[in-house]
Amino acid sequence: MEEAEPTPGLIESILEAEAVVVCPSNPIVSIGPILSVKGVREALLRSEAKKIAISPIVAGRPIKGPADKLMRGLGLEVSAYSVAKLYSDFLDVFIIDQADIDEKDRIERLGIKVISTNTIMRDLKDKVNLAKVVIEQVRGSRNQIL
């Protein structure tokens, strides 16, 4: 990863963005490598964009894939909190599933605003609801869907 370079315009796009959304993907083998590309994490730190992430872990289990095995292999607790901690240096808002509401205070102590809603997208209604929650956070809405 030391040799990986961002695609042309990526850093500028992050710096000029209104919002950056980290989707609920594996924090170790999907999001982690992106964040380790030269300049990406630094751009997120410098950007004035609202940085929002959706937890890929619900009730101690990944939505899909091997994130739990990989996290445990690195000595991490398999939880929404652990994912928030991985992103805590740049993240403004973390969206967690209602099943993880008991982790809210612990995540907020990292300095991250927490929104709890249904994050499992089983149908179009679930997808639209989650998209609305993200958009409300981008716009800075005070109306939180809980």
The answer to whether 46 and 15 are in contact (CB under 8 A) is yes
Q: Quick check: helix, strand or coil at residue 100?
A: helix
Print burial letters for 42-69: b (CB count within 10 Å at least 16), e (below 16).
Answer: ebbeebebbbbbbbbbbeeebbeeebbe
**pTM (2 d.p.):** 0.91
Could you give all domains of the chain from N- to C-terminal order, each with its CATH number?
20-139 (3.40.50.10680)
Give the pLDDT of residue 2: 67
Give the pLDDT of residue 3: 83
Query: At 138, is the pLDDT very low, low, confident or very high (cuts 50, 70, 90)?
Result: very high
